[in-house]
Structure 1
Amino acid sequence: MSSFSEGEIFIANIEKKSLECRENDEIVVLKICELCNIIYPIFNKIFGNGFVGDTLKKDLKNSSSQVQRAIEKFPEETKYVSMLYSYNINKYENMEKLKRDLDNGIISFLWMKRTLEFIITFLEKCYITCNETKLSICAQEAYNEVLKKYHGFITSKIVKLCLKLSPTKDILTKKLGFQTHQQASTVLQKCLSITKPLVRDISVTIEKFNCDFEEKI
């Protein structure tokens, strides 16, 4: 029988996949998709089976699938994140045409990155930087920092209302498969030291190509 908790095993898989995403100085797009496919169940653990949990999970799954389909069309030209952007920037006459073609994976990859950034920011606030803060407040702060500016008035109001219904930290800790808050904090701190720089480097590449589009949904 394994001496590791369910939470330790789950987070260890995220760590492993995060490390696999890098090849020297590049980040492999399909490996990011694999990482997302491991992470998305966490949304129902955190937010339950309601609107927020189901929506975030569905968005991440759909975005990942769309990016995978896009990469499979031109696997050599779009293997790395930097290549995905350089290839598509050169392919279209202007940014508007690039954004309108949802089959190229650019918009889906952007939302994939944002969703990963949100969950990383949320977990960091819950277990590392804001230990004494209520979970619902951590969720709202993470939302305000990462996703709010991309949401219209109605979407933002719905999300904020749902975030107020987040469970307590003790309940979340148990749902994540940990015995104590301290155990979760220790395990997550190591994991986030890998995943956070990964997502930050993706953001740098996206910004380099001026593709951090701010259209609201």
Structure 2
Amino acid sequence: MTFFDDMKTSFADVPRNDGEISTLEFLEASESLVKLFDLLGSSAFSVVQSDMSGNINKVSAKFLSDPVNCGTLQKLILTEVKEGGKKTATQGLLWLTRGLQFTAVAMRKCIDNQDWELSKCFEKSYGETLTKYHSMLVRPVFKLAMKACPYRKDFFAKLGDDLAKVNEQLQAWVSSLESVVKEIMDFFESGNYGKGL
């Protein structure tokens, strides 16, 4: 049994029809991803987890209030745009996607650079993704979390006993995560939906 076998929903299982991403399964896959930070075993990552969980809750609340018009992430954004006012779920989705991108880039670096420790993978990822959105007050908190990463071999042992299976599942999961993140980011850019959020 691996960490990936235990997920309720993997990003590989999120339905995507006609370029639209199913909200419910996306939220389930995101919740499963947040549990990955438990394996990193450092309370320093609690800030990352709580940030992502808070954003999942914002998107979830909107979805549950109007599942028909918010059945896909794209429809959810367009519904909030049409309603005017505060775009709480859209903002939550934007920040959640940034967190997912940070995780995807870190895990891709981990796959592509087998001699790198996790702390290096996460530090490089942070520099390429989230740091530009964070204030001078937030950056040190995240940088502290990166330094608190466990050793690579210890982390992989927590993912599962069968290393070949873990590596295969990790590769598929990261590829699906990257694809979902790109689709969401492209949609945000297509209508400038993230402006001011």
Report the TM-score when normalising by structure 2: 0.88
Does the aligned pair in 2 maintain the 1:43–1:57 contact within 8 Å? yes
Q: What's the CA shift string for 1:106-153, capped at 9, x where partnerless?
A: 111111111111111111111x21212222111101111121111111
Residue 159 in structure 1 maps to residue 142 in structure 2: yes
**Counterpart amino acid of residue 113 in structure 1:** T
Partner of 2:179: 197
For residue 169 of structure 2, the aligned residue among 187, 190, 197 is: 187
1:51-200 equivalences under 5 Å are 51-52=44-45, 54-92=46-84, 98=85, 101=86, 104-126=88-110, 128-180=111-163, 183-200=165-182
Q: CA 1:150–1:171 in 2, change beyond 3 Å: closer, same or farther?
A: same
SS at match of 2:68: coil
| 8 Å contact from structure 1 (residues 81, 205) kept in 2 | no
Instruction: Say whether the 8 Å CA contact 1:6–1:176 is kept in structure 2.
Output: yes
Query: C-alpha separation between the residues in 1 aligned to 2:158 and 2:68?
Result: 40
Secondary structure of the 2:100 match is helix
User: Is the Cα contact below 8 Å between 1:18 and 1:195 reproduced in 2?
Assistant: yes
Check conservation: 2:23, 2:73, Cα contact below 8 A.
yes
Residues 5-16 of structure 1 aligned to structure 2 (within 5 Å) = 5-10=1-6, 14-15=9-10
RMSD: 2.2
- The alignment's TM-score, normalised by the length of structure 1, stands at 0.80
Unaligned runs of 5+ in 1: 93-97
Same amino acid, percent of matched pairs: 21
Instruction: Show CA shifts across 1:81-116 (max 9, x none).
Output: 221222222322xxxxx5xx26x4111111111111
Does the 8 A contact of 2:9 with 2:28 survive in 1?
no
Query: What SS does structure 1 have at the residue aligned with 2:3?
Result: helix
Tell me if 1:25 matches 2:7: no
* 8 and 30 in structure 1: CA distance in 2 versus 1, 3 angstrom threshold: closer
Structure 1 ranges of 4+ moved more than 6 A: none
The structural deviation recorded for 1:183 is: 4.6
How many matched pairs?
A: 197
Pairwise CA distance, 1:30: 2.2
- Kindly indicate whether the alpha-carbon contact (under 8 Å) linking 1:14 and 1:39 is maintained by their aligned counterparts in 2: no
Larger radius of gyration: 1
